[in-house]
Structure 1
Amino acid sequence: MTTTATPAPPFGRALCAMITPFTDSGALDLDGAQRLADRLVTEGCDGLVLSGTTGESPTTTDSEKSALVRAVREAVGERASIVAGVGTADTRHTVELALAAEKAGADGVLVVTPYYSRPPQDAVEEHFRTVADASGLPVVLYDIPGRTGTRIEPDTMLRLAAHPRIVAVKDCSYDFLGTQKVLSRTELAYYAGCEEHILALYAMGGTGYVSTVANLVPRQLRSILDAFDAGDTARAARLQQQATELIESTMSAGLPGTVTVKALLNDLDLPAGPVRAPLRPADRKTTDGLRAAYERLRAA
């Protein structure tokens, strides 16, 4: 099917891939999560993605994931969508997490390509269909081959788009041609998963973004979309460019975004806490560089 209409945003446009706050002892900090979630929504986030890569999903338990959804739902009410990360390397476990997320009050689930085992495309497709069939929640496909080792190929996306509950993609494929192919032939809502692509993907017909950096500057990133929607494309481009230094410092400095974001949030006295092993905290020099880039963006 060929379509020229921009898909409606199933979870809003400006989504934050929220960190999972921990206490100093490493326990789940639900109070901190509620305070951070409230701040993010107040500052312009339409939705929050919990227990994704940024949320340290590999090192949180199933019960912690459900507790986090319930706590954040209590904090934000209906002011924002909640998408729960449920993807694992095991189809059966992913289904269990999807059902638990539905019970806990999530609005949708984020399902990453099964990692490590490197399944072929027919197995990837069957994995996503099985998860989508298992619950009543809409599904966001998470295409991030740099972490999983396996791409959701465009032709696989085209077939999956026919499933009534597969509604969106978080795109970290770094394949704009493949993305354009799927956008032009489906009604899947495409969210930029890489902050440097926010404006480019939005201008091409994407829906918005799921951003790690939005933990730090939710209002500034949302302003890129707002400027474009207002017809001020020059301002949108300028705002995207102004965010480049912080995006690079956060996402391309040799450390995972979880580490850099938590370092800066802690420095700003906002809820974050430590990362869980095997991740290690950022050093003081890195944190100071992040803080400087953050202050320059805030002053722009």
Structure 2
Amino acid sequence: MTFSTHHPATWLTGYIPDLPTPFDDAGEVDLGAFRRLCERQIAAGATALVVGETTGEDSTLDHAEHTALVRVAVRASRGRAAIIAGAGSNSTSEAIELTRRAEADGADAVLSVTPYYNKPTQAGIYAHFRSIADNTRLPIILHDVPSRTVRELADDTVARLAESPQFAGLRDATGDLARPQRLRVLTGPRFRLLSGDDTAAPAFLVHGGDGCISITSNVIPEICQQLYRSCKEGDLQVARALAMRVGRLTAALSKDSTPAPLKYALSLLGLMSPRLRLPLVELADSAKPEVAAALRIVKDAECFQENVL
């Protein structure tokens, strides 16, 4: 099965992990650990995996490393989950090259961020994404994260791009909880609206969102998938109880530069090293107890889940 032959509306849903990139003692990409992260998420029911994007420290990866990560994810998936490759840049030509590489490596879609640093106009942003689309057959998921790019992706620009079915959805990290309802009217039901903010994700889902590209689900994938189902099924009592427990972990994972707290949490679970690449550094010792405590509480929620669901 090749996910790119199916409309993304069938798999752009639920909690989709933005996977971190593990590094070994020598600072090289640990492909074995990365493969295990992929397999863990697929076993938990993830319909797609994001590879080599924000949480994956894409800005410190060279092209060969990015290619290796995508290929490992494709092999680990074996058609059980779609592979979404990070392929954004503030250079349109580089974004096109990254997208072409992702397509050649077997990715099912790309996640492409609004150009950062350059401060383009909405006309420039539209032309940037249209140029990428003209150079690939892959579905494109837009990534709007103005806290990092200093430029928003305006609703009207999203709507113009969504007129082409090649633009499959939006990762919205604005925190604007009214946006799913606004964009649904402008884009139609097949364009997928995904929260890019774990803190806002439960409310985003209740307000009509289709899922979340998530940091927190890297740590507790099963609980996040159940939270999604509870929100979409209208079981708000269970959703609120799960969201409270997930929320404390999300808060702890947001205390420092992404993905330092996440990598530390995963190291406590024995899944990977906490190492990062400069200019990012490992989580400060003073912040580690909060992450560990939140992890203990949310692991207790697994017992809660078994008792009430």
| Shorter-normalised TM range | over 0.9
Q: Note if 1:143 corresponds to 2:144.
A: yes
**Residues 191-230 of structure 1: CA distance to partner in whole angstroms, max 9, x if unpaired?**
1111122221212221111001111111111111122344
Letter in 2 for 1:35: R
Q: Note if 1:190 corresponds to 2:190.
A: no
> What is the DSSP-based 3-state SS (H/G/I as helix, E as strand, rest coil) of the residue aligned with 2:88?
coil
Q: Which residue of 1 aligns with 2:126?
A: 125
Higher relative contact order (CA 8 A, sep 6+): 1
Equivalent-residue separation in structure 1 for 2:273 and 2:73 (angstroms): 15
Give 1:204's match in structure 2, choosing from 164, 189, 207: 207
Which segment is superposed worse, 148-157 or 201-210?
201-210
Q: Note if 1:222 corresponds to 2:229.
A: no
Q: Which residue of 2 aligns with 1:58?
A: 59
Q: Are the counterparts in 1 of residues 12 and 211 from structure 2 also a CA contact under 8 Å?
A: no
Equivalent-residue separation in structure 1 for 2:280 and 2:243 (angstroms): 29
Q: Are the counterparts in 1 of residues 12 and 192 from structure 2 also a CA contact under 8 Å?
A: no
Equivalent-residue separation in structure 2 for 1:89 and 1:168 (angstroms): 20
**Residues 239-289 of structure 1: CA distance to partner in whole angstroms, max 9, x if unpaired?**
1122111111101x1x12211101111222112441000001012332222
Equivalent-residue separation in structure 1 for 2:179 and 2:300 (angstroms): 37
Q: Are the counterparts in 1 of residues 84 and 109 from structure 2 also a CA contact under 8 Å?
A: yes
Equivalent-residue separation in structure 2 for 1:282 and 1:195 (angstroms): 19
Equivalent-residue separation in structure 2 for 1:22 and 1:39 (angstroms): 18
Equivalent-residue separation in structure 1 for 2:38 and 2:166 (angstroms): 26
Equivalent-residue separation in structure 1 for 2:240 and 2:122 (angstroms): 36
Equivalent-residue separation in structure 2 for 1:246 and 1:152 (angstroms): 29
Percent of aligned pairs with the same amino acid: 32
Unpaired runs of 5+ in structure 2? 1-7, 302-309
Equivalent-residue separation in structure 2 for 1:39 and 1:207 (angstroms): 22
Deviation at 1:164, TM superposition (A): 2.0
**Residues 146-190 of structure 1: CA distance to partner in whole angstroms, max 9, x if unpaired?**
001110011111111102200100000122334431122213201
Deviation at 1:43, TM superposition (A): 2.1
Equivalent-residue separation in structure 1 for 2:273 and 2:130 (angstroms): 35
Q: Which residue of 1 aligns with 2:22?
A: 21
Equivalent-residue separation in structure 2 for 1:245 and 1:160 (angstroms): 36
Q: Which residue of 1 aligns with 2:249?
A: 246
Deviation at 1:71, TM superposition (A): 0.7
Task: Indicate the RMSD between aligned Cα atoms, in angstroms.
Answer: 1.5
Unpaired runs of 5+ in structure 1? 1-6
State the number of aligned residues: 292
Letter in 1 for 2:197: C
> What is the DSSP-based 3-state SS (H/G/I as helix, E as strand, rest coil) of the residue aligned with 1:26?
coil
**Residues 82-116 of structure 1: CA distance to partner in whole angstroms, max 9, x if unpaired?**
10000011000000000100111111000001100
